[in-house]
Amino acid sequence: MNKRGFASDNNAGVHPEIMKVLQEVNGGHTIAYGNDPYTASAVKKIKGVFGDDVEAFFVFIGTAANVLGLDALTKPFHSIICAETSHIHEDECGAPERWTGCKLLAVEAPDGKLTIEGIEKYMYGIGFEHHSQPRVISITQSTEMGTVYSTDQIREIADYAHAHDMYLHMDGARISNAAAFLGVGFREFTRDAGVDVLSFGGTKNGLMYGEAVLFFNPELAVDFKYLRKQGMQLASKMRFIAAQFERFLDEDIWLTNATHANRMAEMLVEEVLKIEKVQITQRVESNAVFAILPKEIIPVLQKEYFFYIWSESTGEVRWMCSYDTTEEDVKNFSSLIRSIVS
Ligand SMILES: Cc1ncc(COP(=O)(O)O)c(C=O)c1O
């Protein structure tokens, strides 16, 4: 069996219950491209969580969810304000810029969170034809730095966006971890807080693949079916994404998985903080742990457990816990760090 590590929640396999569902829906023929009962049923369940008028579209990957969701909100002369650390800015190979034509305006955000003060630095040149026009604020929940916006912080940004004729987009690749941390349902800090479009993630929390783009204002979704097809994300065998989501939305999957991953991150911090020379650099509010270690031990540790160096300049590394991380994994990993450091 593959050894579990702390490189990414994407490195985990598929949750057994999700695998079971994939088997269950595998029999026989059903209409392709989302015109099947599994997709209808999953969309109904999403509506049950977020409200009847939500428009939901399944796609394959998170980058596509972000890019196509942003595309639906913009024209190429617009700009998108996001955190410097955001996935759309750092880790999507320029796909948002290429696809939407928009300029990304990256705000310095050491803890991954946008603030009104940071956003305001880019709010100039409005109505001036030489300047790209800010149209969307994009936030990530939980952030790329493992921190979580409170519902009030999201509402404040949403109110600001709407007061300036802009939209609020949320990259929810790890939305379950944020909900588990906040102790509330998905709706409270998304739709009810003023988010307009959400990339609703599942892959990092136990799905094989699949994300959903949710529109909380149906008017914004009018052309999305065309954007999705043109964006090469209309799955012919849609039933397999839909069925995963339907099962995922049960609390014994999304909440149990995310709560567990978050708890493993807490435990990892407790363990590594006992080790001299290990510094934790971010608040641990989800399933990510950021640390600074003596530089020379990183390659030694990576031989046993692959993980990513987040910042070459500071030596900051990122460790992610997953739904299947065990207490033993945490203990073994921290013992190894202890033995290498001392
Ligand atoms: C914050 C965030 N958004 C979106 C994604 C989606 O990425 P992918 O296109 O690999 O599914 C990721 C994956 O690492 C992520 O960390």
**256-311 per-position pLDDT tens digit:** 999 999 999 999 999 999 999 999 999 999 999 999 999 899 999 999 999 999 98
- 12 DSSP 8-state letter: S
| Residues paired with 133 in a beta bridge | 78
Domain 16-249 of CATH type 3.40.640.10? yes
Cα of 199 from ligand 1 centre, angstroms: 10
Per-residue model confidence (pLDDT) at position 60:
98
User: Which of 66, 82, 84, 91 is the pocket-test mutation for ligand 1 (most atoms within 8 Å of CB)?
Assistant: 91
Cα of 244 from ligand 1 centre, angstroms: 18
Q: What tens digit of pLDDT does each residue of 174-219 get?
A: 999 999 999 999 999 999 999 999 999 999 999 999 999 999 999 9
**pTM for the whole structure:** 0.98
Per-residue model confidence (pLDDT) at position 106:
98
For the beta carbon of residue 246, count every other beta carbon within 10 angstroms. 19
Low-confidence ranges of the chain (pLDDT < 70): none
The fold of 257-341 is Aspartate Aminotransferase, domain 1 (3.90.1150)
Of all atoms in ligand 1, which is nearest to the CA of residue 144? 1
User: Which of 63, 67, 203 is the pocket-test mutation for ligand 1 (most atoms within 8 Å of CB)?
Assistant: 63
Residue nearest to atom 7 of ligand 1 (CA): 62
For CATH 3.90.1150.10, the residue range(s) in the chain are: 257-341
Spatial strand order of the sheet with 211-215 comes to 55-59, 211-215, 197-201, 167-172, 133-140, 78-83, 103-107
Give, in order, the Cα–Cα distances in Å from 69 to each of 98, 129, 290: 14, 25, 29
Cα of 143 from ligand 1 centre, angstroms: 11
Give 296's contacts (C-beta < 8 A, 6+ positions apart): none
Cα of 83 from ligand 1 centre, angstroms: 15
Cα of 87 from ligand 1 centre, angstroms: 6
- 112 DSSP 8-state letter: S
Give 201's contacts (C-beta < 8 A, 6+ positions apart): 62, 65, 171, 172, 173, 174, 175, 176, 211
For CATH 3.40.640.10, the residue range(s) in the chain are: 16-249
Per-residue model confidence (pLDDT) at position 166:
98
From 108, 183, 184, 112, select the one nearest 142 (Cα to Cα). 112
From 86, 104, 94, 92, select the one nearest 145 (Cα to Cα). 86
Give the integer Cα–Cα distance in Å for 28 and 195: 39
